[in-house]
Amino acid sequence: MRLYFDGDVWVGIEATFRVATEMRDVMLGPSDDAATALAGFIGDSIQTAHGQTDGTLTINFSAAGLLELYDSSTEFECYQIHYGGSVLPV
């Protein structure tokens, strides 16, 4: 699954992730139908993004929701951040 942001930035998700808003808090996998859970973020702005040493990336949106990506595998990439011509695999 790919999530596209402003400019030339997108995130490819290949493992479990969490979507939390006032209405829901769900864990999803890349093959799940995540459109409903992610629809509330369309047109929203990223307020902060924070990476932890365990590989977890937390993206907080201005409408009080968050997306957490987990580095849940030691053998495979769980997500990639693409910006410009660079790729950061986690």
pLDDT of residue 40: 85
Q: How confident is the model at residue 87 (pLDDT cuts 50, 70, 90)?
A: very high
pLDDT digits (tens, 9 = 90+) for 30-80: 888 888 889 889 989 999 999 999 999 999 999 889 999 999 998 999 999
- Stronger pLDDT, 59 or 24, i.e. the higher one: 59
Dihedral sign for Cα 77, 83, 85, 86, please: negative
3 state SS of 40: helix
